[in-house]
């Protein structure tokens, strides 16, 4: 066997033919990959010793989609449609082995296979709508036949992938496998052969094509997407899966896809897609270059933008030096930053302390005055967790005791009521043991829940009240100007 081309490799494992694609980083279905797959399927079809085929990908993921750089260019055979047609024409079982993210054209290729196995962490989806497109290789026609029109429409219109477990429940994946994916897929293919499982294509299934509720689902999904071409086209394509024969629905899907590709909306969304990725690249930088860790930062100017940048450094836990030419300008900038932090703190509610602790982490801002950096000092934004702990220790004794007592009282009263009902029923000769015992048990449970909620309420309430009363505490701990004399004397840890 060996390699067909630089992207596709073939090998035999007994009676199982394994086709492995390797096109890093995401195994996009470019022309060379499609050509290799088509050639591999041809070999498997002609080899009488082959009983089944496994399609698997090397690297971190199964085919994560088509090569969108080919959109708008003259098509090169074989197309993805040609590869899918070759899979469906195979008289031998074809198993897709999924890992990573099987998206777009990669998921559509998997849907054309007779069987699909996946690792637990695999995800599948059709995100074309995010590029102003719809699935153009049969996804709008095959997916509804597996999961039903409503679920298919949700996946296609939102473009959000689902996990392997959900896909297994929906019938997309036939088996979730552990360990080595290729070995597990080969073992699955052997079982399919030995058990003589029927080779039923997704395109031939129609038991889930029920139109009831589809219109309401479409309205709910597209209500906020009016004016966008792709979601409306997705709805039309999935509706066609319900009302049209498969081949006709496939033809209409291709027409809608070509219309969207040529439209301004998709062109704009694809431009943004490439621009975002290009913006993250530094021209002419060697591939082996790795980013250096950021130990500290400096911001020249304490204006609105400078103060905001300094806050970003502080919130990320990176020491930052703010430089201004005048003490008054520096103080004005620091006051503005303090006001920003105060606004953030005042907007917090019951879970404000926890949110601030998670978001701010530990920040540092170093303030320098003058061109020669006369006098500088560092202050630390203390973690709210420590402040919360100190607050609980200081305030929680009596409230916690009251909360526990209140919960216990409710539990006791409910228990007494339960016993009273039980005793009254027995005295009157009625059989009430069953439901009264349930009532007693629920009473105990209710009391415990109330006590726990009371404790949580006291904890969070007191944390919030304490931090609300001192909104500038962390601000003054994190930033501020200190003259050279103060800096020489060390860090003023008690400064308020």
* Residues recognised as catalytic: 108, 128
User: How far is it, in rounded angstroms, from Cα 242 to Cα 149?
Assistant: 8
How distant is the alpha carbon of residue 258 from its chain centre? 29
Residue 23 near residue 37 (C-beta atoms within 8 A): no
Q: E strands within 356-492?
A: 364-369, 374-380
User: How far is it, in rounded angstroms, from Cα 190 to Cα 414?
Assistant: 62
* Best CA proximity match to 239, nearest among 358, 331, 300, 149: 149
Residue 482 near residue 491 (C-beta atoms within 8 A): no
* Best CA proximity match to 257, nearest among 147, 105, 149: 105
- DSSP 3-state assignment of 332? helix
Tokens of 136: 């153009």
The helix (H) or strand (E) run that includes residue 163 is strand 162-163
Q: Exposure of 70 by Cβ count < 10 A (0-12 exposed, 13-18 middle, 19+ buried)?
A: middle
User: How far is it, in rounded angstroms, from Cα 8 to Cα 11?
Assistant: 10
Q: Which ranges in 25-79 belong to alpha helices (H)?
A: 31-46
User: How far is it, in rounded angstroms, from Cα 353 to Cα 345?
Assistant: 9
Q: Which ranges in 47-101 belong to alpha helices (H)?
A: 80-88
Q: Which ranges in 281-322 belong to alpha helices (H)?
A: 304-315
| Tally of CA atoms within 13 A in the half-sphere of 378 that contains its CB | 13
- Considering only the C-alpha atoms of the chain, give the largest distance between any 2 of them, rounded to a whole number of Å: 95
């Amino acid at each position: 066997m060996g390699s067909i081309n630089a992207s596709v490799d073939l090998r035999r494992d007994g009676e199982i033919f394994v086709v492995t694609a390797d096109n890093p980083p995401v195994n996009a279905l470019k022309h060379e990959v499609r050509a290799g797959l088509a050639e591999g399927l041809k070999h498997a079809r002609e080899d009488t010793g082959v009983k089944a085929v496994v399609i698997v990908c090397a690297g971190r993921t199964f085919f994560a989609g088509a090569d969108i750089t080919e959109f708008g260019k003259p098509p090169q055979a074989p197309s993805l449609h040609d590869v899918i047609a070759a899979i469906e024409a195979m008289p031998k079982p074809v198993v897709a082995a999924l890992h990573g993210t099987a998206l777009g054209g990669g998921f559509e290729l998997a849907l054309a296979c007779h069987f699909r196995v996946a690792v637990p962490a695999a995800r599948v989806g059709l995100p074309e709508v995010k590029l102003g497109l719809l699935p153009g290789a049969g996804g709008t026609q095959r997916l509804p036949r597996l999961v039903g029109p409503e679920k298919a429409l949700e996946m296609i219109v939102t473009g959000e992938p689902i996990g392997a477990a959900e896909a297994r429940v929906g019938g997309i994946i036939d088996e979730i496998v552990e360990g080595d994916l290729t070995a597990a897929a080969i073992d699955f293919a052997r079982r399919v052969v030995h058990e003589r499982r029927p080779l039923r294509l997704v395109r031939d299934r129609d038991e889930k094509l029920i139109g009831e509720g589809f219109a309401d689902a479409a309205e709910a999904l597209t209500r906020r997407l009016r004016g966008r071409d792709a979601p409306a086209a997705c709805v039309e394509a999935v509706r066609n899966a319900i009302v049209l024969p498969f081949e006709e629905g496939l033809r209409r899907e291709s027409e809608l896809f070509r219309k969207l590709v040529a439209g301004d909306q998709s062109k704009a969304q694809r431009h943004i897609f490439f621009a975002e990725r290009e913006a993250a690249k530094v021209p002419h930088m060697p591939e082996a270059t790795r980013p250096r860790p950021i130990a500290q930062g400096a911001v020249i100017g304490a204006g609105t933008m400078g103060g905001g940048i300094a806050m970003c450094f502080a919130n990320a836990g990176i020491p930052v030096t703010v430089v201004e030419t005048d003490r008054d300008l520096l103080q004005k900038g620091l006051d503005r930053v303090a006001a920003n932090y105060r606004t953030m703190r005042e907007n917090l509610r019951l879970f404000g302390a926890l949110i601030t602790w998670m978001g701010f982490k530990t920040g540092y801002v170093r303030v320098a005055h003058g061109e020669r950096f006369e006098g500088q000092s560092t202050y630390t934004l203390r973690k709210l967790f420590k402040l919360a702990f100190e607050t609980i220790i200081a305030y929680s004794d009596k409230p916690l005791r009251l909360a526990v007592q209140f919960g216990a009282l409710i539990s006791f009263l409910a228990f007494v009521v339960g016993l009273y009902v039980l005793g009254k029923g027995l005295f009157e000769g009625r059989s009430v043991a069953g439901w009264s015992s349930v009532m007693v048990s629920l009473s105990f449970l209710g009391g415990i829940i109330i006590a726990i909620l009371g404790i949580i309420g006291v904890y969070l309430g007191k944390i919030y009240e304490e931090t609300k009363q001192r909104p500038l505490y962390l601000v003054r701990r994190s930033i501020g100007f200190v003259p050279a004399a103060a800096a020489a004397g060390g860090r003023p840890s008690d400064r308020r």
